[in-house]
Amino acid sequence: MSTVAVDALDAIQAVDPEIADLIHKEEQRQADSIRLIASENYTSKAVMQATGSVLTNKYSEGYPGKRYYEGQEFIDQIEQLAIDRAKALFKMDHANVQPLSGSPANQAVYMALLEPGDKVMGMHLAHGGHLTHGWKVNFSGKLFDSVQYTVSEKDHLLDYEAIREMAIKEKPKMIWAGISGYPRYVDFEKFGAIAKEVGAYLIADVAHISGLVITGNHPDPSPYVDVITTTTHKTLRGPRGGMFLCKEEHAAALDKAVFPCLQGGPHNHTTAAIAVALKEAASPDYSVYCGQIIKNAKALAAALQEEGFDIVTGGTDNHLMLVDVTSKGLGGREAASALNKAGVVCNSNAIPFDPRKPWDPSGLRIGTPAVTSRGMKEEEMKTIAKWISEVLANIQDEGTQTRVKREVKELCDQFPAPGIAS
């Protein structure tokens, strides 16, 4: 017989009112703002309840059926459900849902398949790649001999023949195919052919596009890769966590790289929330949602172009776009700061071959997963583009920022944020 649950924030309020107040304020910010950070989203109430459950009390070093502590009969079932659901959605032989986030998942891949000093090849960070794909300030660039491929200077698209030529010349042991700021499809089949030709492992990092991949809204890497890594938030709409999927031949080495090499006990409350999110992702509604993400991104990119903004590559195939704001006489950080004051939240971002420094780059990265989760569609994207144009055309005008922020809240009130109490 269950006991009466106490509202989580009421309990926090009694113990730590300062933290409770800050949580309430952040909840209000998320409810009242247009969130366009491409890596952010809203989870469902069910996912949030799992992350705040009693599962946080349990220690579970090891894997289902082979734990180092007793009392695992329910934990094992929860983790196995998450594993089975991940394997089914991503169409891979094996899944591990224990990595604490995407970067630790990627670190496990390096630990399992390479030795320090081995050569790796990944996409240049400023051209749309990720820190863990061999960037020099990251562990992947410090511990491994990293070379970076780029997009074409002509059209800012991936040049697969140039990538092939680099791979033949450099002979990497591992190639990363994945994006954090590239607005077009990744051709995993072409990457697979390149990796096969040079005898390299191919790793697909689909952290940003995982939801699009499993719903058929982006090309599927599973037939061509050795490993798929991903976060479990972003388009997947789960908790902040990570996982990888792989061919059976790599399963033992990769599992050992997570535990006991890099981590101790998994976060069981996160595992349960991942399982819930994966069940939600198997629903027909979720597939419709992912399709709408792309429709919204295309509509927003087109509307921004009509407002006179330069969109890198001229558009998008996925959930994000890069907007070059230098034609408006602005830097990315100045633009992002002004938009944030107006309730439109995005991040400054480098564009390919950016002449400006990383701390204040030329662009904005804008994504549509969170606004799509609220139920917004193409017409709302036109409104958002108009607000972005108005704020940036009047960058120092606090009156414009205040007015747009009020209008943003009025629109948000019409589209309640999932998982957030009204």
Tens digits of per-residue pLDDT, 329-356? 999 999 999 999 999 999 999 999 999 9
Amino acid at 209: I
Amino acid at 316: T
Cα separations in angstroms, 219 against 122, 210, 253, 294 = 19, 11, 27, 13
Whether 131 contacts 103, CB under 8 Å: yes
Predicted local distance difference test score (pLDDT) of residue 9? 81
Range of the domain at 75: 54-281
Residue 411 token pair: 């629109």
Q: Tell me, what amino acid is at 120?
A: V
Both 213 and 161 in one domain: the answer is: yes
- The predicted-structure confidence for 107-137, as pLDDT tens digits, reads as follows 999 999 999 999 999 999 999 999 999 999 9
Residue 254 and residue 116 share a domain:
yes
DSSP code at position 402 = H
Please tell me which residue in 58, 240, 341, 403 is annotated as part of the active site: 240
Residue 48 falls inside a structural domain: no
Pair 253, 112: CB distance under 8 Å: yes
Determine whether 110 is an active site residue. Answer: no
382 shares a domain with 261: no
Distance CA 270, CA 275 (A): 9
Pair of tokens at residue 239: 């908790």
Burial of 52 (0-12, 13-18, 19+ CB in 10 A): exposed
**Model confidence at 1: pLDDT above 90:** no
Same domain assignment for residues 171 and 81: yes
159 is catalytic: no
> Cα–Cα distance between 278 and 144 in angstroms, integer?
33
Average pLDDT over all residues of the chain: 96
Verify whether residue 201 is a known catalytic residue.
no
Say if 5 falls within a structural domain: no
Query: Residue 59: which residues within 8 A CB-CB, separation 6 or more?
Result: 69, 265
pLDDT above 80 (res 223) = yes
Of the candidates 43, 231, 235, 271, the residue annotated as catalytic is 231
Per the domain annotation, does 38 fall within a domain?
no
Catalytic one of 40, 58, 59, 382: 59
User: What SS3 state is found at 417?
Assistant: coil
Band of pLDDT at residue 6, cut at 50, 70 and 90: very low
Assess contact for 392 and 341: CB atoms under 8 A.
no
Judge whether residue 270 has pLDDT over 90: yes
380: CATH: 3.90.1150.10
Structural domain total, the chain = 2
Task: Tell me, yes or no, whether 273 and 405 share the same domain.
Answer: no
pLDDT digits (tens, 9 = 90+) for 282-301: 999 999 999 999 999 999 99
336 and 272 share one domain: no
Active-site pick, 182, 184, 205, 400: 205
The span from the CA of 225 to the CA of 92, in Å, is: 10
DSSP string of 194-249? HHHHHT-EEEEE-TTTHHHHHTTSS---TTT-SEEEEESSGGG---S-EEEEE-HH
Q: Based on the residue annotation, tell me whether 341 is a catalytic residue of this protein.
A: no
> Average of pLDDT values for 81-102?
98
What is the three-class DSSP state of 4?
coil
Q: State whether 305 and 240 are in the same domain.
A: no
Tell me, what's the pLDDT at 99? 98
Say whether 327 sits in a helix, a strand or coil: helix
Helix (H, G, I), strand (E, B) or coil at 349: strand
Residue 176, domain CATH: 3.40.640.10
Residue 100 has pLDDT above 50, yes or no: yes
Q: Which of 27, 40, 61, 170 is catalytic?
A: 61
- Cα–Cα distance, 64 to 76 (Å, whole number): 5
* Tokens 């090849």 sit on residue: 121
In whole angstroms, what is the distance from residue 156 CA to residue 192 CA? 21
Instruction: State the pLDDT confidence band at 232, using cuts at 50, 70 and 90.
Output: very high
User: What's the predicted TM-score (pTM) here?
Assistant: 0.95
Residue 95: phi and psi, rounded to 5, are -135, 145
300 in the same domain as 241 = no
The residue-averaged pLDDT of 29-35 equals: 97
Q: Is 407 one of the annotated active-site residues of the chain? A: no
Cα separation, 405 vs 346, whole angstroms: 14
Confidence of residue 421 (pLDDT cuts 50, 70, 90): low
Q: Say whether 91 is catalytic.
A: no
pLDDT (tens digit, 9 = 90+) per residue, 188-221?
A: 999 999 999 999 999 999 999 999 999 999 999 9
